[in-house]
Amino acid sequence: MQPGRRSASSLSIVPTDASPPPSGLTPLGPLSKAEHRVFSFTVHQNRHLRARDVPLLELYAAAYCRSSKAKRGGVQKWERETRIMMALAVKLRLTVQSTVQPRTVGRLHEQPVLSYYERQALQEQMDDDNH
């Protein structure tokens, strides 16, 4: 590292290791292939997970696989397994409701406000279509 202030040109250079480091989370116990795929996918998609989350994450992966298998069984078994999976997903903050601030959800779905000129152009276009 150079002593003193950094130049503007050195600040504009993107380091080669700019991508986030791969997560070092590994299961504590043995998992089936399907459970391991769910575990790895969930870790890859949710960068907020830490080592303390691994036990719950293992349970989530197992519950996901059991829920998928229960689809072929009865509705009651599938519903029970899905409830377990969703409870774990909420605790691990994997669901959309867990990751979005309630105050900003409405802002995400607001329609953009059209300017006066955009409204006039749309009105003219609708008038032309009607004639």
Q: Which phi-psi region, left, alpha or beta, contains residue 4 (left: φ > 0; alpha: ψ -120 to 50)?
A: left
Write down the pLDDT at residue 83. 95
Write down the pLDDT at residue 72. 86
Q: Of 70, 69, 90, which Cα lies nearest the Cα of 79?
A: 70
Write down the pLDDT at residue 82. 94
Write down the pLDDT at residue 36. 93
**What tokens does 83 get?**
């409830």
Residue 27 and residue 42: Cα distance in Å, rounded? 12
**What radius of gyration, in Å, describes the C-alpha atoms of the chain?**
25
Q: How much is the pTM?
A: 0.61
Question: SS3 for 88-111, per residue?
Answer: HHHHCCCCHHHHCCHHHHHHHCCC
Write down the pLDDT at residue 43. 92
Residue 66 and residue 52: Cα distance in Å, rounded? 23
Residues 6+ apart with CB under 8 A from 88: 56, 59, 60, 63
Per residue of the chain (131 residues), what is the pLDDT tens digit?
567 777 777 767 766 655 544 557 889 999 999 999 999 999 998 888 999 999 999 999 999 999 999 988 889 999 999 999 999 999 999 988 776 666 665 555 555 667 788 778 888 877 777 66
Write down the pLDDT at residue 34. 93
